[in-house]
Structure 1
Amino acid sequence: MAVVARSVVVGVDAGGTASKAVVVDETGAVLGRGSAGPGNPAAGGPAAARAIGSALRAALGPAPATVTSGVVGVAGASALADPAIAAAFAAEWEALGLRCPMRIAGDAVTAFAAGGDWASGAVLIAGTGAVAALVEGFEITRVADGLGWLLGDEGSGMWLGLRAVRLAARRWRAPLARRVAAHAGAATADDLVYWAQALPPFGALAPVVCELADAGDPDASAITTEAARRLVATLDELEAPGAPVVLAGGLLVADTPVRRGVLARLAARGATVGTAHDPALGAARLALRSTAQATTNAAFDTAFRGSAHRPGPRRSQ
């Protein structure tokens, strides 16, 4: 007897660290997951498309399925204007046998969709970088920061790490400086300056800063407190008081001092807050909505009411 292919949709969260894919059926039930390497085309070029394809291949598995829609949330989506990168993505869809529309969306949109059952509101992302976006009808209408670590990304992991290195260079005997020096393999302040000139991934120090802040180190606490203040200031640049806010990115999903500081500031103004624990599922939510299955979409949205507000795991990044 012939096996009937099941109709499914796919969602992908493709970032600078990893690509994560999820397959769901028409009821929103998760049928498969897959992960692969970095999927940011702005940083990885055509290799990002191959990583996303690998994640999708693992999520789809060997069982026959008809993919009716797909959404890929990508950091650096504008890079698809490059013909070589666009061709690489088209080649991956063809290799996977995907003949349905595969929408490329900004990662802010898919993160927002993962944070609650709202169609409009604000999303605040703080991971390696930091950005805030106003979303209306699942479309970005305004953006604040997201300018990169040299010009902005205030409150991000890169910002935390760079602040820690600057403090260590000036106050070599501080406890925070000792941890930074150990991370850098620096025996002297001059060694640290030399290390920093090579522009290492300063964001790797963010867990160190968060750990020390939780342990009561005053310098680390001052840095994380200022990070929370700057992130909320970035959010305020959207000029959307009263809008629901979705928190996303490692610093705001896990139980870090930065997240707690942001939550305290938002609670003081009575904001409604959700957390984007699974942006790949948010992408699948958008893909499902595009299939025009109104009843199913409503049921899937309802599921977010119970899942989007649970606390994240306690960790430093």
Structure 2
Amino acid sequence: MSVNEQQYLDLCRHVLADGEKKSDRTNTGTYSVFGAQMRFDLAEGFPLLTTKKVNIRLIVSELLWFIHGDTNIRYLLQHNNNIWNEWAFKRWVESNDYTGPDMTDFGNRSLVDAGFNTLYKEQMAIFKQRILEDDAFMAQYGDLGPVYGKQWRHWQTSRGETIDQLKDVIESLKTNPDSRRHIVTAWNPEDVPSNMALPPCHALFQFYVANGKLSCQLYQRSADIFLGVPFNIASYSLLVHLIANEVGLEVGEFIHTLGDAHIYQNHLTQVEEQLSREMYNLPEIHITEGKSLFDLTVDDITLVGYESHPPIKAPIAV
């Protein structure tokens, strides 16, 4: 039995049993607790959930997208990754350039209206094709604003300078491993209210070195437990592996600290189904040796020994 995955399942049970019923920005409604923490010993295995299938290729391509400093969804679509589409699509259908069918509240309407769902899929397919083929359209509607990659790699200062937080942390880990300043933040108070498609949920992370091992703690201000958190766990655990590989350390722990940890009210059935399933053993992650972090491609990162239950679909709140 995986101690790592059990923590996640226990968090689900805790929120279902003790969570406060709250409204939210999407008007979906949640059950929420404030302040939770999970600790994942990466020596036990790679903490990709086994009680439902989680697509590692989506996690890998998204993380490399962040690491490259990219904020446009074209790269993701080129790797068949659709997890950021809705936020970019929302910008297009709410613009004056959009002339198609009314897409208001498309996330919820597509779930309950089969006719509308067909229209939505048609418009999304048009949108994705234009992002891939039309450079001008891609530049205007594919970019999500100064989200994670921009903040990690190209933080803009008030003096007009640029800070590469990720490279600076890597250099600091190599030259001063005992520092308490190995921090990367995506929460930029100047950019949050301006042009971000979605203010950063995983807001700040800090590395820590002890006994030749690299650990990382993430503070996540808002945590969609069913859909988002499984990705966040795997993504930041992968980041620990990648950074450890870059600086010549073994992997230690990933500590996941959550602010508002919530289950959406339209995910309750899915969570109950997942909780009814037995866990499998955790897989392992393999990384191509001899390549810089910044030169890695999706083909350089492979998952070995992953056995899981089938995926469980659920609507995303946009």
What TM bracket, shorter-length normalisation? under 0.3
The structure whose Rg is larger is: 1
Identify the structure with the greater helix proportion: 1
TM-score by length of 2: 0.27
Q: Which structure is richer in relative contact order (CA contacts within 8 A, separation 6 or more)?
A: 2
TM-score by length of 1: 0.27
